[in-house]
């Protein structure tokens, strides 16, 4: 079935101010519990990573590197923020690993976990190359960003994008978001931010994502995988290795028996 609309996020980290309004708006709309009241010491980031109860996560990165095109009193230092979210891959590892059909691609071209079908097997957790989806301790089921499926059905934008005061999180039709992202990238390059780059659409290992990010450093700096690959893409290789291994073991077994006979 062709999707009715193709929507996604464009998260421009250069205008993120680290207010965490997206995290709170997400939790309020989706009625998610807290993820533990733990002081992490990771700058102002006490969420640490996406999880079953945290579907938006703002990373606070203290870099020993100045922000290009800006001069501050801090010298070789900058504090950058990044609101992370489910990437809504074109080739989603979670969906392909799901044995119950609980994870579906919606009419909006987003990836959605149906909580009434999920049986909590956890295969999707291992299948996600970004480490996004996770099982909740109390009910065992897997949860992640729904891209506010219920709000989309009512023609509302997702709660995080709605709450973002600087429009760092933009929601919209994927084609338009691509244009906006490219335009912003060109603008930043013209301003001398040569390290600015887009993350998401070019990730071949997942055939591109519906969540586009604009970063100003290597993905690893943001704790994002530089080259994520869904496990299914490496499956053929994996089975080939298994076959080679099995053949080698068979040969060894036969060889051992033959050589043992020969000695007798």
Partner 1 sequence: MNRRLMYNRASADRDGKPWSERKRYVWWDAAQKKWTGADVPDFVEDKPPDYRPKKNARGLEAIGGDDPFIMQADGKGWLYAPSGMIDGPMPTHYEPQESVVRNLLYAQQCNPARHEFRRRDNRYHRAFGDARFPFVLTTFRLTEHHTAGGMSRPLPWLSELQPEMFCEISPSLARARGVVHGGWVTLTTARGQIECRAMVTERLKPLIVDGQRIEQVGVPYHWGVVGKVRGDAANELISFVEDPNVNIMETKALTCDLVAGRRPRGAAAHAERMAMDESMDLAVEEERALGEEKLRGEGPPLAEPSQMTPKG
Shortest spacing between CB 43 and partner 1, in angstroms: 7
Phi, then psi, of 169 in degrees rounded to 5: -100, 115
Binding mask 73-112 for partner 1 (x = CB under 8 A): xx--x-x---------------------------------
Query: Would you give the binding string for partner 1 spanning residues 32-71, x where CB under 8 A is met?
Result: -xxxxxxx-x-xx-xx--------------x-x-------
Provide the token pair at 102. 């609980």
**Closest C-alpha among 78, 79, 80, 83 to residue 54:** 83
Question: Does position 232 bind partner 1 by CB under 8 A?
Answer: no
- In the set 8, 11, 13, 27, which binds partner 1 (CB under 8 A)? 27
In sequence order, the 6+-apart residues with CB closer than 8 A to the CB of 236 are none
Residue nearer to partner 1 on the CB measure, 34 or 139 = 34
- Helix H segments across 113-197? 123-127, 149-153, 159-163, 174-190
What is the signed CA dihedral for 232, 51, 195, 231, rounded to 10 degrees? Answer: -10
Least Å from the CB of residue 45 to partner 1: 9
- The radius of gyration of the chain from alpha carbons, rounded to an integer in Å, stands at 22
Contact segment (CB under 8 A) with partner 1 among 19-27, 84-92, 199-207, 214-222 equals 19-27
Alpha helix ranges (H) inside 107-234: 123-127, 149-153, 159-163, 174-190
**Span near partner 1 by CB under 8 A; candidates 31-39, 126-134, 141-149, 168-176:** 31-39
Neighbours of 243 (CB within 10 A): 10
Stretch that binds partner 1, among 17-25, 123-131, 151-159, 168-176 (CB under 8 A): 17-25
In this structure, how many other beta carbons lie within 10 angstroms of the beta carbon of residue 14?
19
Which of 7, 9, 12, 20 contacts partner 1 by CB under 8 A? 20
Query: Residue 19 or residue 198: which is nearer to partner 1 going by CB?
Result: 19
Binding positions for partner 1, rule: CB under 8 A: 18-20, 23-24, 27-28, 33-39, 41, 43-44, 46-47, 62, 64, 73-74, 77, 79
């Amino acid at each position: 079935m062709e999707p009715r609309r193709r929507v996604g996020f464009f998260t421009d980290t250069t205008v993120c101010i680290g207010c965490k309004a997206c995290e709170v708006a997400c939790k309020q709309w989706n009625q998610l519990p807290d993820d533990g009241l733990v002081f992490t010491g990771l700058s102002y980031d006490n969420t640490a990573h996406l999880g079953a109860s945290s579907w938006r996560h703002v990373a606070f990165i203290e870099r020993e590197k100045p922000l290009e095109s800006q001069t501050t009193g801090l010298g070789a230092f900058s504090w950058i923020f990044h609101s992370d979210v489910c990437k809504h891959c074109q080739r989603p590892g979670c969906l392909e690993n799901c044995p119950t059909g609980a994870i579906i691609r919606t009419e909006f071209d987003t990836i959605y976990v149906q909580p009434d079908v999920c049986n909590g097997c956890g295969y999707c957790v291992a299948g996600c190359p970004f480490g996004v989806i996770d099982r909740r301790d109390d009910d065992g089921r897997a949860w992640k960003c729904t891209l506010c499926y219920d709000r989309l059905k009512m023609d509302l934008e997702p709660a995080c994008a709605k709450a973002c005061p600087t429009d760092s999180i933009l929601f919209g039709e994927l084609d338009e978001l691509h244009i906006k992202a490219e335009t912003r990238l060109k603008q930043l390059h013209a301003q001398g931010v040569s390290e600015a780059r887009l993350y998401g659409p070019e990730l071949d290992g997942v055939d591109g994502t519906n969540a586009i990010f604009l970063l100003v450093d290597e993905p690893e700096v943001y704790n994002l995988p530089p080259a994520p690959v869904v496990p299914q893409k490496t499956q053929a290789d994996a089975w080939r290795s298994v076959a080679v291994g099995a053949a080698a073991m068979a040969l060894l077994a036969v060889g051992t028996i033959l050589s043992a006979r020969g000695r007798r």
